[in-house]
Structure 1
Amino acid sequence: MAQVLEFRLPDLGEGLTEAEIVRWLVEVGDVVAIDQPVVEVETAKAMVEVPCPYGGVVTARFGDEGAELPVGAPLLTVAVGSPVESAGDGADADSGTDSVTDSGSGNVLVGYGTGAPPVRRRRVRPEGLKAAVAVSVAPAEAPAPTPDPDPDPALGPVAVVSPLVRRLARQHDLDLRRLAGSGPDGLILRADVESAIRSAAEAHAPEATAFSSPAASSAAAGERVALRGVRGAVADKLSRSRREIPDATCWVDADATELMAARAAMNGAAGAGAAKVSVLALLARICTAALARYPELNSTVDQEAREIVRLPQVHLGFAAQTDRGLVVPVVRDAHARTTESIGAEIARLTEAARTGALTPAELTGGTFTLNNYGVFGVDGSTPIINHPEAAMLGVGRIVPKPWVHEGELAVRQVVQLSLTFDHRVCDGGTAGGFLRYVADCVEQPALLLRSV
């Protein structure tokens, strides 16, 4: 008799509690190997391919593409065990595809992992495997739904598997027993609940608008975009930052002409085949030197203990705009890197951000953030601190402007620098000193050589 194992959405780390299904990589009936990726999900941190810790035949999938599942919710079921072996007893050892008996996964996921030594793999024909499994595990194709307490006998049990769907229905006072599910065997999906919610809202729209203002009516009828995934995580973090951090901002204009000249000289000396040094890499290197002088800004606040925690390493985050929203990749140990090393890591992380390949570890643990909003063609901003950090340096566009240089009016490359800081960790004198040092290094890059 085959054993049907349920694979639930694992804890992907970094405190993540849910994920959205982006793309299924397997179909019901497919043969999967241990640690084969079966679904691509989007968390609040990154896109992740989730490997299955079991080998066998996929007998059921839970959740459509676009559905959001909490950690611990069922993802799929896999039939493994003796029928797999018996199905291959008569198979030619040199044909078919690999199928694996239940041997545990070598991939470490919270709640899953290698638990026993691997057993012998056997080569079997997939059609024989599927036929054997179909006889013994057909009932697992669509698990029996859990009925609501005291259901209406006339309406039958409630075909809902996802706790997220039940919660959404409760929030909108929706009776699931009156819905017809569009999923396998009438399974009620999130899309079914959302459709019912929209229908109910439209049915009550005339009554509501009779007693409400035009503005309220427009808001009720306007397009609604779910705050989930990266956008939801950004919203939560920014809201928390505004609630908890008493921030202040100071800014200064700086003449970046010499910085641009130094960059051109560095790239010219590097040769045609070498990677170019970016302005962002130079500013990042200046930041690490400034933080060495003003370590108060490389810290966090333990509110419960009422303590400021000054951090020994600089893990420098930089804001990057992607199709999925704003992300902040982190350059680890930036204080110990050269300008070239920082530039190479920024380039690698930027490409990973563009393709959605950043891991949760590459998006967390920052101690200070550099935000180059000048790429959007703007001069200034008052950035929101990336909680739980203590400060963020904002950089505007570098553009030709009239400037008094050596006592005469000249056209120079000017940039506005702004520093938003947590007023709990330092006063304005420290913040001003940090920003002034950064501006001085921008105007006279040789200062950086004297300070390292």
Structure 2
Amino acid sequence: MAQVLEFRLPDLGEGLTEAEIVRWLVEVGDVVAVDQPVVEVETAKAMVDVPCPYAGVVTARFGEEGSELPVGAPLITVAVGAAAPGASTADSGGSAGGSGNVLVGYGTSEAPARRRRVRPTPAVPAAANGRSIAAEAVEEQDDGRRAQTAGRADESGATVVDGPVPVISPLVRRLARENGLDLKELTGSGPDGLILRADVEYALRAAAVQTRPAPVPAATPATAPATTAGGTRVPLKGVRGAVADKLSRSRTEIPDATCWVDADATELMRARAAMNAAGAPKISLLALLARICTAALARFPELNSTVDMAAREIVRLDAVHLGFAAQTERGLVVPVVKDAHARDTEALSAEFARLTEAARTGTLTPAELTGGTFTLNNYGVFGVDGSTPIINHPEAAMLGVGRIVPKPWVHEGELAVRQVVQLSLTFDHRVCDGGTAGGFLRYVADCVEQPAVLLRTL
């Protein structure tokens, strides 16, 4: 006898309490393996796949694409108890087997290269041709028993159906449901009146001859903009909603100030070109700026801190977890390079590349988007010279870097064309005064203008 287990939206960690369904990866009737991703969801932190801890046949899905579900809400139900080719249902404490996995994006085994879908043979039951497909086996066992008891004879000898109509597989039941076909009105051509797919398809063709069904309009996703009188309303949810909340909180709670300076980046660009000409892995400009930041924070640790207003304390942090702003199709995200202070320039460059690709594809984990202590914002990629960044709450500062462009510059007493960049530092005035912030920014500018200054801290 098959056992139907309910899989609920697991605890997402990081204080997250809900997620939006972006895309279903399975359909009702599909066979799933242990830890196979079944749905793609977007939280306030990232886009992640949710793996199912059970192996069996999907019997129901809960929630449409674009809708939000709270943690603990049902996601799918899975019928387990009949083995499918390549699937396992190991026993665990007397219940149906599963991985025990309840964390988003983490599993105990690799997902299969492609999912297996129930494909019933219209005229021949699955057992008759030697195939062992879980969905058909599960449904036939249950429907076979129901077929013997569901019908009762009335006074005229006709059979009146009292319970669920026996069908060969969930796929057939879904086909009928999606086309508005009442299975109780059909006479099955299979053993003991079992309704086959061929029976449903024949009934649908017959109905199509009599009338052409009107097209069903597609449902509007919950995240789509809604046009109203005088404008358009766009829901603030998912990543964009989380960013809006954090920025609003930053402006409300943090008394910030900004200082900026122009710097001659010509020597820094030459140093980078020399590094990349050596044949070793390429060094990104962002990695060089990050290395400068960690050196500056070692000199001015006040800016690598957070404010605990409840305790009325400034908490200076030992490790530098460096966030960097990345623009994606889903909006602005801030991946975090953990322990940036302990990485050399090559390691920083590799980690920036990995996290940037993950941001682009929407595969960043919540852990990769949280825990930052200082943020580097390279808004120069948008072609602008300067900005006054909003601090990424609860951090204490953010360094902004504008575009590097040729400009007239006095170099060694003469006017010359040099590669100039504007640097800006927005800082929490509660953690330091302007002297500390200015000292930090001046040291960063000195390293940009004379990269050899960094040798003092290497």
Matched, 1:324 2:330: yes
Shift of 1:15: 1.1
Give the TM-score of the pair, scaled to structure 1: 0.75
**Residues 303-318 of structure 1 mapped to structure 2, 5 A cutoff:** 303-318=309-324
Partners of 1:19 and 1:266 in 2: how far apart?
44
Point out where structure 2 has 5 or more consecutive residues left out of the alignment: 91-95, 109-130, 147-162, 165-169, 171-217
**In the alignment, which residue of structure 1 is the partner of 2:348?**
342
Q: Secondary structure at the match of 2:233?
A: coil
**In the alignment, which residue of structure 1 is the partner of 2:33?**
33
**In the alignment, which residue of structure 2 is the partner of 1:22?**
22
Matched, 1:412 2:418: yes
**Residues 47-446 of structure 1 mapped to structure 2, 5 A cutoff:** 47-81=47-81, 84=82, 96-98=85-87, 100=89, 102-109=96-103, 124-126=132-134, 127-133=136-142, 220-269=229-278, 271=279, 274-446=280-452
Would the alpha carbon gap of residues 61 and 258 (structure 1) be closer, same or farther in structure 2, given more than 3 Å must change? same
* Preserved contact between residue 2 and residue 136 of structure 1 (Cα < 8 Å): no
Point out where structure 1 has 5 or more consecutive residues left out of the alignment: 89-94, 115-122, 142-188, 203-218
**Which moved further from structure 2: 98-107 or 65-74?**
98-107
Would the alpha carbon gap of residues 378 and 113 (structure 1) be closer, same or farther in structure 2, given more than 3 Å must change? closer
* Preserved contact between residue 325 and residue 377 of structure 2 (Cα < 8 Å): yes
Would the alpha carbon gap of residues 97 and 316 (structure 1) be closer, same or farther in structure 2, given more than 3 Å must change? closer
Partners of 1:363 and 1:399 in 2: how far apart?
31
Would the alpha carbon gap of residues 402 and 113 (structure 1) be closer, same or farther in structure 2, given more than 3 Å must change? closer
* Preserved contact between residue 385 and residue 402 of structure 2 (Cα < 8 Å): yes
Q: Secondary structure at the match of 1:415?
A: strand
Identity of aligned residues (%): 81
Would the alpha carbon gap of residues 191 and 74 (structure 1) be closer, same or farther in structure 2, given more than 3 Å must change? farther
Give the TM-score of the pair, scaled to structure 2: 0.74
Pair member with larger Rg: 2
Would the alpha carbon gap of residues 256 and 134 (structure 1) be closer, same or farther in structure 2, given more than 3 Å must change? farther
Q: Secondary structure at the match of 1:441?
A: helix
Would the alpha carbon gap of residues 448 and 133 (structure 1) be closer, same or farther in structure 2, given more than 3 Å must change? farther
Shift of 1:224: 1.2
CA displacement, residues 28-49 of structure 1 (integer Å, 9 cap, x when unaligned) = 1222222221111111111111
**In the alignment, which residue of structure 2 is the partner of 1:182?**
none
Partners of 1:77 and 1:300 in 2: how far apart?
44
Would the alpha carbon gap of residues 286 and 136 (structure 1) be closer, same or farther in structure 2, given more than 3 Å must change? farther
CA displacement, residues 311-359 of structure 1 (integer Å, 9 cap, x when unaligned) = 0000111111111111111111110111111111101111111111111
* Preserved contact between residue 258 and residue 427 of structure 2 (Cα < 8 Å): yes
* Preserved contact between residue 298 and residue 368 of structure 1 (Cα < 8 Å): yes
**In the alignment, which residue of structure 2 is the partner of 1:8?**
8
* Preserved contact between residue 6 and residue 77 of structure 1 (Cα < 8 Å): yes
CA displacement, residues 24-79 of structure 1 (integer Å, 9 cap, x when unaligned) = 11111222222221111111111111111222221111111111111111111122
Partners of 1:7 and 1:37 in 2: how far apart?
12
The number of residues matched between the two structures is 361
Partners of 2:140 and 2:319 in 1: how far apart?
58
Shift of 1:4: 2.3
Shift of 1:220: 4.3
* Preserved contact between residue 29 and residue 130 of structure 1 (Cα < 8 Å): no
* Preserved contact between residue 335 and residue 369 of structure 2 (Cα < 8 Å): yes
Shift of 1:11: 1.2
Measured on the aligned residues, the alpha-carbon RMSD in Å equals 2.8
Partners of 1:194 and 1:441 in 2: how far apart?
45
Shift of 1:104: 3.1
CA displacement, residues 300-319 of structure 1 (integer Å, 9 cap, x when unaligned) = 11111111111000011111
Partners of 1:344 and 1:113 in 2: how far apart?
25
**In the alignment, which residue of structure 1 is the partner of 2:44?**
44
Aligned residue type for 2:87: D
Shift of 1:8: 1.2
Shift of 1:409: 1.0
